Homo-oligomer: A and B are copies of this chain.
Amino acid sequence: MAEVRANKKVVLKDFITGFPKESDMEIVTTDTVRLKVPEGSKAVLLKNMYLSCDPYTLWRMRKHDEPPSVPGSVITGFGVGKVVDSRHPDFKVGDFVWGMTGWEEYSLITETEMLFKIRYTDVPLSYYTGLLGMAGFTAYIGFHEISSPKKGEFVFVSAASGAVGQLVGQLAKLMGCYVVGSAGSDEKVNLLKNKFGFDEAFNYKKEPDLSAALKRLFPEGIDIYFENVGGPMLDAVLINMRTHGRIAGCGMISQYNLEKPEGVHNSLYLVTKRIRMEGFLFSDFFHKYHQFEEIIGEYIKDGKITYVEDKAEGLENAPAALLGLFGGRNVGKQLVVISHE
């Protein structure tokens, strides 16, 4: 007879509309889980350790044609866990994995296409919620596959102290680019300049004229813009882009919660400056994941990449941690610790 455990979880109460609230989610503690994968399935049972808080997690909680998270069910998102039981040939008991899981103590994963065995266990495993997981992979793909970077180019990263932005800036520096980041507090600006090695950084909340700020920091213009925020920043960037510049469209966090998105008025520059703007999603590039993991894993071990995490403890604090992303409350990668082993 398999062991049965209580399974605390965060459940979506109703699809998020407008600005998300903590009351859109609730903590449920009545559920139980059997610590065995049912016979006849190829599922994997995880003990969840770390959960990743991403704008993408919230995006999954909004109504879509095929909604990834549905009301009454556990919230889903990226996380790190340990295999407790498995009937899948690629995963065995004791393996550490990262991928799509539930916001709960134990998850039975039946769709394993989005589950990856962790190969670098000598770095903090929580890094796989960010630097070595979806956010880091997103940074890597967006910079190396989408932005066509060249040594010496001028690179601008918005939301630069976030999980993705941190790595984009460091990858650009490793390639010999000039890199400027924007963030929403002086503390974050300080991190960008003094910890992540950005050439320059600025607090966008203190700049009355974003275009003038970019002109000051990029007197010759911007070759590559790594777009995380959208809205007025995108407009200011378009004014300051160089001919044949590239914009990697990773996200537009300033726009997700608006009833009507703000207008972008300078799209004509896409034509006159022959700019390529391209949206992308990490999941179109899973075939490059192993290459990425190896390159970044070695960079971490060699001390060439720095990383800052912001950890919330316990599932009870998960909703607040997730919503904090939109207030810019977190410093560095926001994650939730459920268990350290």
Contacts from A to B (Cβ < 8 Å): 227, 230, 234, 249-252, 255-256, 260-281, 284
User: Contacts A261-B266, A264-B264, A265-B263 given: A250-B279 contact, CB under 8 Å?
Assistant: no
Task: Identify A277's interface contact among B252, B255, B270, B284, CB under 8 A.
Answer: B270
Residues of B within 8 A of A279 (CB): 269-276
> A331 CB to closest chain B CB, in angstroms?
24
Task: Identify A278's interface contact among B250, B261, B277, B281, CB under 8 A.
Answer: B277
Interface of A, secondary structure class, is loop
B267 with A260: CB separation less than 8 A: no
Residues of B within 8 A of A263 (CB): 262-265
Q: Which of A256, A262, A277 has the most CB of B within 10 A?
A: A277
26 contacts between A and B (CB under 8 A): A227-B271, A230-B268, A234-B267, A250-B271, A251-B271, A255-B268, A256-B268, A261-B266, A261-B267, A261-B268, A262-B263, A263-B263, A263-B265, A264-B265, A267-B267, A269-B279, A271-B279, A271-B280, A274-B278, A274-B280, A274-B281, A274-B284, A275-B278, A275-B279, A276-B276, A278-B278
A271 with B284: CB separation less than 8 A: no
Residues of B within 8 A of A269 (CB): 279
Residues of B within 8 A of A255 (CB): 268
**Cα distance A273–B252 when bound, in Å?**
13
> A116 CB to closest chain B CB, in angstroms?
21
**Cα distance A284–B243 when bound, in Å?**
11
Task: Identify A265's interface contact among B234, B261, B268, B277, CB under 8 A.
Answer: B261
**Cα distance A234–B279 when bound, in Å?**
16
